[in-house]
Amino acid sequence: MSQVTLHASTDNAHGSANARRLRQAGSIPGVVYGHGVGPLPVAVNAKDFRSAVSGDQGLNSLITLDADGKKYTVMAREIQRHPVKGTVSHIDFQVVDPNQAVLAEVPLHLIGDAVEVRHADWEVDQQMFSIEVKTRPDQIPNFIEVDISGLTVGAAIRVSDLVLPKGVEVTGDSTVSVVATHAGRTAKAVVVPDEVPAE
């Protein structure tokens, strides 16, 4: 995993008025915490932050946060957004140890063609679009593939069926369905005729 450097300023006072000034100036207020650090108030340039998390890893990117000369290895954990504009209004940066496992949310990508399901006029229903995993920061996958080519009518793919990269484990309930199948409109429209009453 590549690691990007993001510069931060620690010279910001507490309070909502100062936070507004930072945002108007193109910066995002935030806080650094974890492993004996902080909470340390910081501010980062909004454009630089977008660039730092714009790669394949997204918010799971490992970042070297240079806070006025003092460097921390962090990940952007909790992102707060403006309720109307959708712009990032606050960031929580968690200090991590590259050699210790962390929790991360990873997207699920469907691959393959569920031929049997399609030919029966049934539909594939993706019920989970991401999943929480536990692994070292440098082993967080960009995504996890879910192969639906062997899916049959009425069957499901559960968390326990996922093929995970080495060193990656899933947290939570392994029996939850990731992908299920259900009858499509054509299949539902098939009506069994009423029995003809005996004379």
For residue 50, pLDDT over 90 is answered with no
Domains of the chain: 3-96 (2.40.240.10), 103-188 (2.170.120.20)
Rg (CA), the chain: 24
H helical segments located in 6-147? 16-24, 46-52, 115-119
- Most confident by average pLDDT, 66-75, 144-153, 180-189: 144-153
Which two structure tokens, joined as six digits, stand for 69?
């000369």
H helical segments located in the chain? 16-24, 46-52, 115-119, 185-188
Contact (CB, 8 A) for 30 and 91: yes
Measured between alpha carbons, how far is residue 139 from residues 91, 99, 135, 164 in Å? 23, 10, 6, 11
Compute the distance between CA of residue 133 and CA of residue 105 in angstroms, rounded to an integer.
Answer: 6
Chain centroid offset of residue 177 CA: 18
Contact (CB, 8 A) for 189 and 158: no
Q: What is the pLDDT of residue 2?
A: 61
pLDDT of 82-113, one tens digit each?
A: 777 777 888 999 999 988 999 999 999 999 99
Q: What is the pLDDT of residue 177?
A: 96
